[in-house]
Amino acid sequence: MPRGTRSAEDSTAADAPHGSRPEQVYVRLRDLIVGGQLAPGSRVVETEVASRLGVSRTPVREALQRLQQEGFVVGAPGAQQARLTVAPLTRSDVHELLNIVGELEGLGARWAAALPAAERRVLVKELRALNVEFHRLAREVPLDHSAMYEADERLHRKIVEASAGPRLLTLHDSVKPQAERYIRMYISLLTGDIRPSVAEHDAIIEAIEAGNADEAQVAVQTNWRHAADRIVKVIDVAGERGSW
């Protein structure tokens, strides 16, 4: 485990109630993975997790099964859960996940652009405010990358929620969290080059405002493709397990 991992996990254990349900254990472990406290390649041992979180092995086992199904942890074929590790950050994974996100959100943008004009005006006003907030946060000193991530996430989620049905929302809820590690990394890379991302958001918003479904869909797909390309360049330098 990386330096600093123990203190993060210990703080988690301190406020974890005995007998936590699998959902609570899942959320805690997922947050440690997404936040980088459990680094790519780190071993995740069921007994150690149970001890640190102050829970029995049963909810940990169920949480790890879910994390494995969602791609946050991996194990060698035929290995027991004691051999699980945090999933590496790989070129193929970032391309797959972020392009899937782009397709789902692109469909949401397409449908948003087809909303009645009055509804589009309300949506566009909200999206512009979110993009202004995103840009403002990028100019603050010191930078708060988590706040930037949340602003970016709210903008993208607003597009999907504007017109999506339950199936698209369910798919988005399933895939987007798996991409969060990469998206947070992407946000951290934008600190000196925020204008292209803001401009890509503007292009999405303008297409929705104009009611141009094709352009709205392509603009979202382009935004996520560029994010994937930027992250791949970092992975090429740092290695697929990552040292960030």
Tokens 């999206």 correspond to: 127
For 33-75, how does the pLDDT look when each residue is reduced to its tens digit (9 = 90+)?
887 788 888 889 888 888 988 899 999 999 999 999 888 898 8
Largest separation between any pair of C-alpha atoms in the chain: 56
Residues 6+ apart with CB under 8 A from 24: 16, 17, 59
Highest mean pLDDT among 13-22, 48-57, 127-136, 226-235: 127-136
- Residue 97 has which token pair? 């996940």
Q: What is the pLDDT of residues 93-103, one digit of tens each?
A: 899 999 999 99
- Copy the structure tokens of residue 156: 């993208």
pLDDT score at 2:
38
Q: Is the pLDDT of residue 244 over 50?
A: no
Q: What is the per-residue pLDDT for 9?
A: 40
The Cα-based distances of 186 to 14, 155, 218 in angstroms read 31, 16, 20
Residue 12: its pLDDT value, please?
Answer: 42
Higher pLDDT, residue 34 or 209: 209
Structure confidence at residue 53 (pLDDT) = 86
Angle between helices 145-163 and 91-113 (to 10 degrees): 50
pLDDT at 16 (0 to 100) = 42
pLDDT at 180: 87
pLDDT at residue number 238: 64
Residue 132: pLDDT above 50?
yes
* Beta strand pairing call for 73-74 and 85-86: antiparallel
Instruction: Tell me what pLDDT residue 18 has.
Output: 44
pLDDT interval class at 15 (50, 70, 90): very low
Distance from C-alpha of 180 to C-alpha of 187, rounded to nearest angstrom: 10
Separation of CA 208 from chain center = 24
Reported as type and span, the H/E element at residue 74 is strand 73-74
Taking only Cα atoms into account, the Rg of the chain, rounded to an integer number of angstroms, comes to 19
Q: Is the pLDDT of residue 87 over 80?
A: yes
Site of tokens 């109630």: 17
Residues 211-239: pLDDT tens digits? 999 999 999 999 999 999 988 887 877 66
Q: Hey, what domains does the chain have and what are their CATH numbers?
A: 5-86 (1.10.10.10), 91-238 (1.20.120.530)
Q: How far apart are the C-alpha atoms of 5 and 10, rounded to whole Å?
A: 9
Q: Which carries the bigger pLDDT value, residue 242 or residue 50?
A: 50
- Sign of the alpha-carbon dihedral angle for 94, 96, 100, 102: positive
DSSP designation for 81:
G
Cis amide leading into 116 (omega within 30):
no
Is the pLDDT assigned to residue 242 strictly greater than 50?
no
Average pLDDT over residues 15-19: 43
Residues making up the chain, counted from first to last: 244
pLDDT (0 to 100) of residue 79: 54
